[in-house]
Amino acid sequence: MWKAIVAGLFAGFIAGIAMTVMMLLLACFGVATPLVIIGDRLSVFISPGPFLSLMGKVGGYNHLKQLGVGSTIIGQLLVAATAGAVFGLMTWRRAGRCAMLLTTSIFVALPTIVAAIVLWPVLGTSYVGLPIDAGRLVTLIGFALSVFVFERTLVASFQFLVGPKIQREDQEFTPTIGRRAFVLSAIGVAVAGGGVALARKLYRVATFSYDGTQYKGRIVQPITPNDLFYCVTKNVVDPRVDVRLWHLEVNGLVRNRATWRFQDLLGFPPIEQETTLMCISNGLDAGLISNALWKGLPLRDLLDQAAPFSSAARVRFHGVDNYVDTIPLEKAMDPTTLLAYEMNGVRLPHRHGYPLRLIVPGYFGEKHVKWLTRIEVTDPNAKGFYETQGWGPDFITPTRSRIDVPDHESWFSLGQLNSPIEVKGIAYGGDRGISRVELSFDDGKTWNDAEIHYTGGDLAWSLWKMHAGWTPTGPGDYVIAVRATDGEGDVQEWEPDRSPFSGVTGFHKIVVYIAA
Ligand SMILES: Nc1nc2c(c(=O)[nH]1)N[C@H]1C(S)=C(S)[C@@H](COP(=O)(O)O)O[C@H]1N2
Ligand SMILES: [Mo]
C-alpha cells in the first residue's frame, strides 16, 4: 500500500508541475488562470488594516502580488501531490486498475465544478478583453484543460513508475522503480524548466516594473506625459485588450440593454477635458497623482439611451480584469463623467485602460475603472473591489497640496545663495478647483500667498510657486508647509473624523536647513 501511495505522491507532484506549466502557457495567451484569480477572489476578504500591514511586512504591493502567486503555485503543487497519493491508494484498492471514466470524473470534472462554484465571481476575467460571459467560459475551459493535463500526466506517470498493473501484495520498491523515478524526475525538471521560461516571459510583461509609478518633484509639469503618469493596478499582468474581441455592455436596472462596439462609441460627439486623478492611498508627500487631457464621450449619453428604472441608484463598472467599482447614478449622469478613449492626444495606453476607461472627476483614482467592458445600473447596495475590502466610506477627494521643490531635508548656505530659493508645487481640489495657495515657513504659524501660475480648470490641479522665490531671514531649520483653498472657498485642513481608509488629510511639510 505504501508503495502505491508514495508512487502516487510522486506522480501527483510531477502532474502538478505539468498542470502549472499548462496554466502559465494559457496565461501567455491572456487566459485567466487560478494562479492569479485565486488571489483576486481572496483579496476582497482582507480588510484594509491587515492588507496594509501585510503589504508593509512583505515590502509593497508588488511583493504582495509575487507572494500571492508564489504561494498559489506551492499550494497547487501540494494539492496535486496529495491528489496523486489518493489516486495511488485508489489504484491499489481497486487491484491496480482505475478506469479513465473514474479518474476523469474525480480529477477533471469534480475540480472544474468546484472551481466554477468557488471562483464564479472572478471567472469572467480576460486579459485579451473578451466580454465577461465569454471570458468566463474561456477561463473554465482553460481550467478544465489544465486539470485534464494533470489527470493524464498523473495516470501516465504512475503507470510508468509501478508498471501496468500493481498487485495488492506488491510492497517492494524494486531497482526498476528507482530507475524509472529517476527518468520521471528528469522529465519533471525539464517541464519545470519550460515553466520557468514561461514565467520569465510573463515576469517581463508583468506590472511589477511600473505598478506604483509616482509623479512628483522637479519634473512636474501642468500635463503629465503618458509614460510618466502615475500607475496603480491590482493585476500581476495587465490586460492588453484586442479591440476586435472587446465590446461594452450596458445592462442592469435599465429599460434598454445594449452592447456597443468600439467604433460605435467614436460616433458620439466627443468631449475633451483636463482631469486630475489621485489614488486613495496617496500620501501627503507622494506622487500617486497626475493630470491629463482626456477625450471621450459623456457616460450620460449611453445611460440616457439605456433609460434606468426609477429604482436605480448606483452604477457598477466592470473591467475585463474583473475589477469593479461603483459611483452614484447622479454622479454618473454628470456631464463631466466620461468614457475616455484618448489620453493627451493619443489612443489610451494599455496600462491606463485601453480601449476605454471611466473618468469621474473629484473621486479617488480607484473609481476610474480601466479596461471597461460592462456598465451595470444597480440598486444602492452595489460595492466595488476596494470598497468590499473595507476602503471608504468616503471616496470624494479632499483638497490637497504638495511642495515639489525644494527637496525635503535639503541644505542651503546663505553665503552661497545668489538668488532666492525656488519653492513650487501642486494643489488639487477634486472637482472644485483651486482658488488660493498659501505657504508657511514657520510650521503653520504665519501664511503667505503663493502665485498660482497654471490652472487646468475646476477638475484639474493647479501649479503654484512662491512669487520671486524665498529668501530666508537667517540661518536655521525651517519647516515649510503648504495649504490650498478650493474653488468653493474651503481651506484645506486636517479632518480628524475622516476614516483612515478614505484618504489622508492634512498638510504637506518639508524641512529645509539654512546655514550662514
Ligand atoms: N480595471 C481596473 N481599473 C482600475 C484599477 C485596476 O486595478 N483595474 N486600479 C484603480 C486604481 S486603485 C487607481 S488609483 C487608478 C489608477 O489609474 P492609472 O494607473 O491610469 O493612473 O485606476 C483604477 N482603475
Ligand atoms: Mo488607487
Q: Per-residue pLDDT tens for 361-419? A: 999 999 999 999 999 999 999 999 988 888 999 999 999 999 999 999 999 999 999 99
Tell me: pLDDT of 171 over 70: no
Last residue of a domain, one of 389, 422, 446: 389
Q: Distance, CA 290 to ligand 1 centroid (Å)?
A: 13
Tell me: pLDDT of 336 over 90: yes
Residues 50 and 102 in one domain: yes
pLDDT band with cut points at 50, 70 and 90 for residue 19: very high
CA 287, 291, 294, 299: dihedral to nearest 10 degrees? 70
Residues 17 and 155 in one domain: yes
The pLDDT assigned to 463 comes to 98
The pLDDT assigned to 162 comes to 87
> Is any atom of ligand 1 closer than 6 Å to the C-beta of 230?
yes
> Is any atom of ligand 1 closer than 6 Å to the C-beta of 211?
no
| Chain Cα centroid distance, residue 260 | 25
CATH code for position 435: 2.60.40.650
> Is any atom of ligand 1 closer than 6 Å to the C-beta of 81?
no
Q: Which residues of 21-40 are buried (b: 16+ CB within 10 A; e: fewer)?
A: bbbbbbbeebbbbbbbbbbb
* Ligand 1 atom, smallest distance to 365 CA: 14
Residue whose C-alpha is closest to residue 426's, from 284, 293, 294: 284
What is the number of domains present in the chain? 3
Tell me: pLDDT of 174 over 80: no
Task: Find the mean pLDDT for residues 42-55.
Answer: 89
**Residue identifier of the C-alpha nearest atom 16 of ligand 1:** 232
Residues 385 and 419 in one domain: no
> Is any atom of ligand 1 closer than 6 Å to the C-beta of 371?
yes
Q: Distance, CA 288 to ligand 2 centroid (Å)?
A: 8
Last residue of a domain, one of 362, 389, 416: 389
Q: What is d(CA 136, CA 204) in angstroms, rounded to the nearest whole number?
A: 26
The answer to whether residues 300 and 339 touch, using CB atoms and an 8 Å cutoff, is no
Residue whose C-alpha is closest to residue 324's, from 362, 356, 365, 369: 369
Q: Distance, CA 339 to ligand 2 centroid (Å)?
A: 18
The pLDDT assigned to 2 comes to 85
- Which residues, 6 or more positions from 326, have their beta carbon under 8 angstroms from its beta carbon? 314, 315, 316, 317, 367, 378, 382, 383, 384, 387
Give domain status of residue 22, yes or no: yes
Task: Find the mean pLDDT for residues 445-454.
Answer: 98
Residue whose C-alpha is closest to residue 34's, from 20, 53, 55: 20
The pLDDT assigned to 349 comes to 98
> Is any atom of ligand 1 closer than 6 Å to the C-beta of 395?
no
The pLDDT assigned to 99 comes to 85
The string of DSSP codes covering 216-249 is -GGG--SS--GGGS----S-SS-----TTT--EE
The pLDDT assigned to 474 comes to 94
Residues 347 and 409 in one domain: no
The answer to whether residues 204 and 237 touch, using CB atoms and an 8 Å cutoff, is no
Give domain status of residue 213, yes or no: no
The pTM assigned to this predicted structure is: 0.95
If one residue of 211, 228, 233, 294 were mutated to test the ligand 1 pocket, choosing by the most ligand atoms within 8 A of its CB, it would be 233
Q: What percent of the chain has pLDDT over 90?
A: 89
Helix crossing, 132-162 with 2-28: angle to 10°?
Answer: 150
**Residue identifier of the C-alpha nearest atom 6 of ligand 1:** 233
Q: Which residues of 176-193 are buried (b: 16+ CB within 10 A; e: fewer)?
A: ebeebbeebeebbeebbe
pLDDT band with cut points at 50, 70 and 90 for residue 30: very high
Q: What is d(CA 186, CA 173) in angstroms, rounded to the nearest whole number?
A: 19
Rounded to 5 degrees, φ, ψ at 153 are -65, -40
**Could you report the per-residue pLDDT of 299-322, keeping only the tens digit for each?**
999 999 999 999 999 999 999 999
| Ligand in closest contact with the CA of 368 | 1
Q: Distance, CA 171 to ligand 2 centroid (Å)?
A: 59
pLDDT band with cut points at 50, 70 and 90 for residue 166: low
Q: What is d(CA 139, CA 143) in angstroms, rounded to the nearest whole number?
A: 6
Angstrom CA distances, 313 to 130, 309, 318, 362, stand at 28, 9, 17, 19
Residues 181 and 230 in one domain: no
Give domain status of residue 210, yes or no: no
The pLDDT assigned to 454 comes to 98
Q: Distance, CA 504 to ligand 2 centroid (Å)?
A: 13
Last residue of a domain, one of 363, 389, 415: 389
Give domain status of residue 247, yes or no: yes
If one residue of 40, 366, 461 were mutated to test the ligand 1 pocket, choosing by the most ligand atoms within 8 A of its CB, it would be 366
Give domain status of residue 42, yes or no: yes
Tell me: pLDDT of 165 over 80: no
The pLDDT assigned to 175 comes to 75
Range of the domain at 131: 2-205
Q: What is d(CA 20, CA 26) in angstroms, rounded to the nearest whole number?
A: 10
Residues 135 and 156 in one domain: yes
The pLDDT assigned to 176 comes to 79
Residues 490 and 367 in one domain: no
| Ligand in closest contact with the CA of 277 | 1
**Could you report the per-residue pLDDT of 71-101, keeping only the tens digit for each?**
999 999 999 999 999 999 999 888 767 788 9
The pLDDT assigned to 120 comes to 96
Q: Distance, CA 437 to ligand 2 centroid (Å)?
A: 25
The answer to whether residues 371 and 124 touch, using CB atoms and an 8 Å cutoff, is no
- Give 23 or 61, the one with higher predicted confidence: 23
H-run or E-run covering 53: helix 48-58
**Could you report the per-residue pLDDT of 228-282, keeping only the tens digit for each?**
999 999 999 999 999 999 999 999 999 999 999 999 999 999 999 999 999 999 9
The pLDDT assigned to 1 comes to 83
| Ligand in closest contact with the CA of 370 | 1
Q: What is d(CA 502, CA 516) in angstroms, rounded to the nearest whole number?
A: 43
Q: What is d(CA 126, CA 453) in angstroms, rounded to the nearest whole number?
A: 44
The answer to whether residues 153 and 19 touch, using CB atoms and an 8 Å cutoff, is yes
- Which residues, 6 or more positions from 337, have their beta carbon under 8 angstroms from its beta carbon? 298, 299, 300, 327, 331, 358, 359, 360, 361
| Chain Cα centroid distance, residue 196 | 24
- Mean pLDDT of all residues belonging to the chain: 95
Give domain status of residue 217, yes or no: no
Lookup: cell for 15: 502532474
pLDDT band with cut points at 50, 70 and 90 for residue 20: very high
What is the Cα gyration radius of the chain?
28
Residues 151 and 198 in one domain: yes
Residues 310 and 280 in one domain: yes
Q: How many CA atoms lie within 13 A of 412 on its CB side?
A: 24
Residues 236 and 379 in one domain: yes
Residue whose C-alpha is closest to residue 139's, from 13, 14, 320: 320
Tell me: pLDDT of 506 over 80: yes
Q: What is d(CA 59, CA 421) in angstroms, rounded to the nearest whole number?
A: 36
Residues 16 and 53 in one domain: yes
Q: What is d(CA 390, CA 424) in angstroms, rounded to the nearest whole number?
A: 35
Q: What is d(CA 156, CA 177) in angstroms, rounded to the nearest whole number?
A: 14
Q: Distance, CA 232 to ligand 2 centroid (Å)?
A: 6
Residue whose C-alpha is closest to residue 279's, from 328, 338, 331, 325: 325
Give domain status of residue 503, yes or no: yes
| Ligand in closest contact with the CA of 352 | 1
pLDDT-wise least confident of 52-61, 130-139, 244-253: 52-61
**Residue identifier of the C-alpha nearest atom 18 of ligand 1:** 231
| Ligand in closest contact with the CA of 317 | 1
Give domain status of residue 90, yes or no: yes
If one residue of 126, 368, 428 were mutated to test the ligand 1 pocket, choosing by the most ligand atoms within 8 A of its CB, it would be 368
Residues 131 and 44 in one domain: yes
> Is any atom of ligand 1 closer than 6 Å to the C-beta of 391?
no
